[in-house]
Amino acid sequence: EVQLVESGGGLVQAGGSLRLSCAASGFSFDDYTIGWFRRAPGKEREGVSCSSDDITYYANSVKGRFTISSDNAKNTVYLEMNSLTPEDTAVYYCAADPLLLLRLWGLCPPSEEYDYWGQGTQVTVSS
């Protein structure tokens, strides 16, 4: 059974940092495209970043502040978030799919393209 479990969310002051984790079971990240999404209160879900093989994309709103990485030994993907602002407040989700080819997409695929999702972790940035 494929499972994704996010952790690492919390409350942080503006300008601070958090590292989110997405631990996978039932599959190897090596074989999947991983996406990070977020949903802020009253807003639609937004793509944050995606990664597969040696390709990584970031949304313009987080480029230069967020970094996606992985630890294959732990089968875990991370989202390092720096210089956080209140606008980054949201529930953050990781997603995975075995069939997405980022080389063909040229950008992060939309959320409906991912088959597997975690439960989300809340990130709150205070001003």
Rg (CA), the chain: 14
Confidence of residue 28 (pLDDT cuts 50, 70, 90): confident
Write the pLDDT tens digit of every residue in 38-64: 999 999 999 999 999 889 999 999 999
Q: Which residue in 37, 122, 33, 30 sits closest to 74, CA to CA?
A: 30
Distance CA 62, CA 81 (A): 8
In this structure, what token pair is assigned to residue 49? 């970043």
Confidence of residue 78 (pLDDT cuts 50, 70, 90): very high
